[in-house]
């Protein structure tokens, strides 16, 4: 029986590519989504991947959603914490709601999603947790104090949880994508986008499928000796130390 992989924010953008990539790699995939039922159902019809609607930043909703997935598909052995939102504003104009929405979805979701599956992984002696951070969690970004702080927090969470669970056969790693060709990036004004691409040494945006390939590797047995790692995939735009 194939392993169950749960991908949050798994029906659109990078998440959709991850869901498809893991299915192609032989996993039984559950794709979480938060809002657009019509698009999620279209994704399910296109791919045959089961979709589940719940708020990853709400611990009770996440716990209930994971219980539903495990009842229907089996225990979650691969968790990809991908869900993320932006609510951009400079700090002196940012509202508490903009701060809280981003931190809840992008950072608190790490606890809400990982806590319900970690004991099962420890008992079975196997687990793969892959957290999607961001280039802006590494270098910061003007107008994204909320997003940058949350994505930096994902890196700290990854390193701590990796240490706690390494002896239980669980690996925990993070990926920091740069600017990827998704609907979110496509919504950026053309001149701003041109400026972004000019800062990327490889001269183009990344592809969602390129991030999905890194996820598939980290989920595989070939990556069993990798844990607590932070992988950058940004076309050379930001080169981190370690």
How do the domains of the chain map onto residue ranges?
Answer: 4-233
Annotated catalytic, 147? Answer: yes
More confident residue, 148 or 35: 148
Q: Please tell me whether the overall predicted TM-score, pTM, comes out greater than 0.85 for this model.
A: yes
pLDDT, the chain, mean: 96
Task: Please give the pLDDT value at position 188.
Answer: 80
Q: Worst-scoring range by mean pLDDT, 17-26, 112-121, 182-191, 225-234?
A: 182-191
**CATH for the stretch 4-233:** 3.40.50.720
In sequence order, what DSSP letters do the residues of the chain get, joined into one string? -PPEEEETTTTSHHHHHHHHHHHHTT-EEEEEESS-HHHHHHHHHHH--EEEE--TTSHHHHHHHHHHHHHHH--EEEEEE-------B-GGG--HHHHHHHHIIIIIHHHHHHHHHHHHHHHHT-EEEEEE--HHHHH--TTBHHHHHHHHHHHHHHHHHHHHHGGGTEEEEEEEE-SB-SHHHHTS-HHHHHHHHHT-TTSS-B-HHHHHHHHHHHHSGGGTT--S-EEEESTTSS----
Catalytic residue among 27, 147, 179, 238: 147
Task: Please give the pLDDT value at position 3.
Answer: 97
Q: Worst-scoring range by mean pLDDT, 68-77, 159-168, 177-186, 201-210?
A: 177-186
Per-residue confidence band for 242, with pLDDT thresholds at 50, 70 and 90 = low
pLDDT at 189 over 90: no
Task: Please give the pLDDT value at position 183.
Answer: 82
């Amino acid at each position: 029986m194939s392993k169950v992989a749960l991908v949050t924010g798994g029906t659109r953008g990078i998440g959709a590519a991850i869901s498809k990539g893991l299915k192609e790699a032989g996993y039984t995939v559950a794709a979480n989504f938060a809002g657009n039922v019509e698009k999620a159902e279209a994704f399910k019809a296109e791919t045959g991947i089961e979709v589940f609607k719940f708020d990853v930043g709400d611990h009770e909703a996440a716990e209930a959603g994971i219980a539903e997935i495990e009842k229907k598909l089996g225990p979650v052995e691969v968790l990809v914490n991908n869900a993320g939102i932006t609510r951009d504003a400079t700090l002196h104009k940012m509202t508490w709601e903009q701060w809280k929405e981003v931190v809840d979805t992008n950072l608190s979701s790490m606890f809400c999603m990982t806590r319900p599956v970690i004991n099962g992984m420890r008992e079975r002696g196997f687990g793969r947790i892959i957290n999607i951070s961001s280039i802006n969690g590494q270098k910061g970004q003007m107008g994204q104090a909320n997003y940058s702080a949350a994505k930096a927090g994902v890196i700290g969470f990854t390193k701590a949880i990796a240490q706690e669970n390494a002896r239980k056969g669980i690996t925990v790693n993070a990926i920091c994508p740069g600017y990827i060709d998704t609907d979110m990036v496509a919504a950026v004004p053309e001149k701003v986008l041109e400026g972004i691409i000019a800062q990327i040494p490889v001269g183009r945006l990344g592809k969602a499928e390129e991030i999905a390939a890194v996820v598939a590797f980290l989920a595989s047995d070939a990556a069993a000796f990798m844990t607590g790692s932070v992988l950058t995939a940004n076309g050379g735009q930001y080169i981190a130390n370690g």
